[in-house]
Structure 1
Amino acid sequence: MTSPNASAVAIRTILLDGTPHGIRIVDRLDWTGTCLVFGRADYPRAKARPELSRTGFYLLVGPDPSKPDRIRMYIGQGEQVRARLDEHLRKKEFWTAAYVITAKDDSLDRAHAAHLEARLVARARETELAVLDNGNAPALTSLGEWGDIAMAGFLDEALTMLGLLGVSYFDQFAADPAQESAPARFETYYLKSGELVDCKGREDADGFLVFAGSFARRSCRKMIDSYGALREQLIEDEILVEHDAGRLRLKRSHRFKSPSAAASVMVAGSRNGLTAWKDEDGSTLKVNQEKRAAAAGADVLVPAGPATSVCGASGLAAPASEVQEQ
């Protein structure tokens, strides 16, 4: 039996409709908060939920109308969230899903909600991982030393819930890859090609993050159409900007869906990201992935059982080494 990881978190989800895409409640036993998730089409039924009569903050998420490949997001708060959502249903057409964070004991007040909203808007503006629909940046008002600490902890827990649900647009590591809070299990990789391409990045659970300041080749070579379209979109969005006659520079860190997408866009030609990205010792991402998998496999215990439970082709009991490999 494996020992639980000290940093492991137990989260529970209730599927109110019995389906993974219906109305859901996500929380954890040792947190006072709760997250209600529903699609726009389910809002008429979600309105009856008690969570929407409480004070809290919420996110409205959907494809950006002018850039369908990007996500648009609105961050709001209210003393009674339901009233605000009623208004947004009439006035905001882009959103397809809502994430409402409240407290199970209704302990959040308007000052708490406004404080959390301001923190989230500031973080979203910093990371630029989604197109923010908020017109103004609300001022961050201090709640006093104790209140600020308590709300920082509450927000950290909320972001864990949202990340589990795929809402990872507040990842500070994406905005500042040098910060020490980046998970240690994700090492840094490098991509170099001639004198023009010089990139640094990191594999993570959501794809491959290329750090701000990385240089890409300006002239485009033959590449997969989807990668070419992505590159053009990054240039249009001024994420890849002109640096000099031969190079483009990544203005801010960008998370690609795969190492190959990251390598191809930066090199301006098709590349296998698993072999193109290398660590400081020259080992490829592919080699390191295989090493980690092999090391993890060595720690897996194969339950002992009767030798005759697995048979070779002859019908005789197979050797123990074959039992483990099958």
Structure 2
Amino acid sequence: MSAPFSLRIFVADGDPDGLRIVERFNASARAVVFPRALLPQVKARPELQQTGVYLLLGPRPDGEGELLYVGEGDPILPRLQDHQSKKDFWTRAIGFVAVGGLLNKAHVQFLEARLIALARAAKRVPLDNGNFPGEPTLSEADRADMEVFLSHMLGMLPVLGVHAFEQVKRPFTETAAQLSTAGTFTEAPDAHEQPAAAELYCSGKGFRARGNDAAQGFVVFAGSEVSAAAGASLTGSVERLRKDLLAAGVLKIDGGIHRFAQDYVFSSPSTAASVVLGRSANGRIEWKDAQGRTLRALQEAEAAT
């Protein structure tokens, strides 16, 4: 788990939904966040005259979830103006620059390539990018600096409501990190490590899924099996999600069995359960621990304690 940090959010025009300038304490990364409709008003901002990397976000054409575009600009503003006329989907933009204007073209090309690679690996939000650039050659020192800058960006983005780059963080478990196969002590947990969470199960005829409820959402673990059939009660949005997961390679078919190829975070236990069971489902009831206690019962017991 990362160390705690503070963000300063400046609402520049007094409207919480308008222009926001976000800075991380004791870091060089500065974010400029604004809705598309405000581009004519914010184009004079000095940050948009700098070299930086930016994200465009908006609804997918089918209306189910978000679409993401990652780009870089030297400076940012001309690229945003070009996208204003050529890309219809986006409704908000986030630009990242360095305090003091310390980023150059190679730096932002590196950041762009790394962000695209992370989004493709996480498979949480589809990309509108047609090309997937490779990383430019950087000196050892520049690369180290950009990795730190990237880590600061990735820490800020979830606070801004962007989860496209997040990798699943399984909570610390004793059997995985403290005990060797012989059962001897091998490693103590980090002081900031997440405590162990109950592993939960959701099953049907011929399939079984494993996961747990985490701060990021509900995590279904790699190797979990799901129903191959979609029932009549399955909502259209979840049915499309199942198809999207298959298309993205998150779900794979092996010998007729649908199985998760990687850990995947869902927005809620019910969405996870519906995908697994192939029907409408209440995740707080369908997910159970090894003793058969439902997620609802576990949460109520924890709240009472």
- TM-score relative to the length of structure 1: 0.78
CA shift, 1:212, in A, is: 3.4
Pairwise CA RMSD of aligned residues? 3.0
Contact 2:56 2:70 survives alignment (8 Å): yes
User: How far is the alpha carbon of 1:281 from its aligned partner?
Assistant: 5.6
Counterpart for residue 289 of structure 1: 299
What is the one-letter code of the residue matched to 1:261?
Answer: T
Distance 1:280 1:108 in 2: 51
The structure whose Rg is larger is 1
Q: Secondary structure at the match of 1:129?
A: coil
Unaligned runs of 5+ in 2: 178-189
Q: Equivalent residue of 1:88, what SS?
A: helix
Within the candidate set 235, 238, 243, 1:235 is matched to 243
Partner Cα distance (1:120, 1:188) in 2: 32
Listed as ranges, the gaps of 5+ residues in structure 1 are 296-326
Determine the structure 1 residue equivalent to 2:181. Answer: none
Length, aligned pairs only = 286
> Partner residue of 1:21?
17
What is the correspondence of 1:87-98 to structure 2 with a 5 Å cutoff?
Answer: 87-98=82-93
Match of 2:119 in 1: 124
Q: Is the 8 A contact 1:188 1:200 kept in 2?
A: no
Partner of residue 12 from structure 1, selected from 8, 28, 32? 8
Match runs of 1:180-191 below 5 Å? 184-185=194-195, 187=197, 189-191=199-201
Tell me: CA distance 1:281–1:27, structure 2 relative to 1, closer, same or farther (3 Å).
farther
Task: Determine the C-alpha separation between the residues in 1 that align with 2:229 and 2:50.
Answer: 54
The one-letter code sitting in structure 2 at the alignment partner of 1:47 is K
Partner of 1:103: 98
What is the Cα deviation at residue 16 of structure 1? 1.4
For 1:214, the aligned partner's letter is S
Retained in 2: the 8 A contact 1:186–1:202?
no
1:191–1:197 CA contact under 8 A, matched in 2: no
SS in structure 2 opposite 1:31? Answer: coil
Contact conserved, 1:174 with 1:255, CA < 8 A, in 2?
A: no
Q: What displacement does 1:118 show?
A: 0.9
Alignment partner of 1:37 out of 30, 33, 36:
33
Q: Which residue of 2 aligns with 1:163?
A: 158
Structure number with higher relative contact order (C-alpha < 8 Å, ≥ 6 residues apart): 2
SS of the residue corresponding to residue 117 of structure 1 reads helix
Counterpart in the other structure of 2:187: none
Bigger drift between 229-238 and 21-30 goes to 229-238
Partner of 1:198: 208
CA distance in 2, matches of 1:183, 1:17: 39
Asked whether the equivalents of residues 189 and 277 of structure 1 are also in contact (C-alpha less than 8 Å), the reply is no
State percent identity of aligned pairs.
37
Provide the rounded CA distance (Å) in 1 between the counterparts of 2:279 and 2:245: 20
Tell me how far 1:150 sits from its aligned partner.
Answer: 1.6
Distance 1:155 1:101, change over 3 A: same
SS state at 1:94 partner: coil
Question: Do the aligned residues in 2 keep the contact of 1:102 with 1:108 (CA within 8 Å)?
Answer: yes
User: Take 1:108 and 1:236, find their aligned partners in 2: how far apart are those partners?
Assistant: 36
